[in-house]
Amino acid sequence: MIGLLQFYLKKRFTLFSVGEEYEKAEYIVFGVPFDSTVSFLPGCRFGPLAVRLFSENIVYPSLAGMHSKIADLGDLIPSINVKWMLKRTFKIVDKISSEGKKPIIIGGEHTLTLASLRAIAKHSDLTTIIFDAHLDLLDDHMDSRVNHATWLRRFLDKKRGKVVVIGCRDFLEEERKYGEENLDLIISADLVHRSLDEVLEELRGLLKNSENIYISVDVDVLDVGGRIGVSSPSPNGLTPSQVTRFLEVLCRKNIIGMDVVEVNPLIDMGASASYASYFIAYTLSSQKIDVGY
Ligand SMILES: [Mn+2]
């Protein structure tokens, strides 16, 4: 009887329909359905659900043969407390990284990256590449020091490795000043539009001595004109192919972790969820070629 049930019933959605077997996997997917500190449009707590749903509707030929190397373990248990979310995310990433595996995290709001980076930095050197319309460098925002607009400032308080932000265009003067003093490279959206090839070259130069890369994609880096549903939409953003050109450069290195954040299905028709899954698929399948797994 159980055989019949398994024949007719489909298990819950997983990213790219991968399995849940941790031991053999190289990449460990989990979701963080958290949006309690979002300052504009709430809803990205449903991001993990939407990204998995839309990932199942797309066939990525380049991922062929990769499925056994990816395991999707589900979502973080729900909390509306940012400290608990960070604590639990830290513990999971710490465990994954300590066993030589690589976390792939689906947000949820951008704050989770703070815990992920701190945990990975315990185990290896890293260079962090962030795609974002914003700098997330406020010291305090809406009476809170730890939220999706301040998390990078909190990481820089105890900076580990080089940090680069790509695609930014929507920030306060205070953040720009702090960023210029404390980030290793800022590639604004304007620079990408004006001289993509030159900035790609600059990035290549900066990464010369970087072996391990962590990629954080805030999907609001994409232009809002593409009907991108995110928690803080911003005009004059990057195109998906511009983001892909950067990923192409990054994938020549060892990607030790990745997150895609801020997908907000409550205002998304599927564009941001589809691109979030695409960016993960592109990155993992390029690793297959370049690193030799
Ligand atoms: Mn952002």
Q: Is residue 31 part of a domain?
A: yes
Q: How confident is the model at residue 10 (pLDDT cuts 50, 70, 90)?
A: confident
* pLDDT (mean) for 215-243: 95
Q: Is residue 227 part of a domain?
A: yes
The pTM of the full predicted model, rounded to 2 decimals, is 0.95
Distance 112 CA to ligand 1 centre (A): 13
Q: What is the CATH number of the domain that holds 245?
A: 3.40.800.10
Distance 162 CA to ligand 1 centre (A): 19
Q: Is residue 9 part of a domain?
A: no
Judged against a pLDDT cut of 60, whether residue 248 lies above it is answered with yes
The model's pLDDT over 90-104, given as tens digits with 9 standing for 90+, comes to: 999 999 999 999 999
Distance 25 CA to ligand 1 centre (A): 30
Whole-number percent of the chain with pLDDT over 70: 98
Distance 232 CA to ligand 1 centre (A): 6
Judged against a pLDDT cut of 70, whether residue 40 lies above it is answered with yes
Distance 109 CA to ligand 1 centre (A): 9
Q: Is residue 274 part of a domain?
A: yes
Distance 80 CA to ligand 1 centre (A): 20
Judged against a pLDDT cut of 50, whether residue 293 lies above it is answered with no
Q: Is residue 7 part of a domain?
A: no
Judged against a pLDDT cut of 60, whether residue 291 lies above it is answered with no
Q: What is the pLDDT of residue 288?
A: 63
Distance 99 CA to ligand 1 centre (A): 31
The model's pLDDT over 47-95, given as tens digits with 9 standing for 90+, comes to: 999 999 999 988 888 898 899 999 999 999 999 999 999 999 999 999 9
Distance 204 CA to ligand 1 centre (A): 24
* pLDDT (mean) for 140-165: 96
Residue with token string 């989770």 = 112
Q: Is residue 85 part of a domain?
A: yes
Range of the domain at 198: 15-290
Q: What is the pLDDT of residue 65?
A: 86
Q: Is residue 27 part of a domain?
A: yes
Q: What is the pLDDT of residue 9?
A: 87
Distance 22 CA to ligand 1 centre (A): 31
Judged against a pLDDT cut of 90, whether residue 185 lies above it is answered with yes
* Count of the separate structural domains present in the chain: 1
Distance 220 CA to ligand 1 centre (A): 5
Distance 134 CA to ligand 1 centre (A): 5
Q: Is residue 198 part of a domain?
A: yes
Distance 23 CA to ligand 1 centre (A): 34
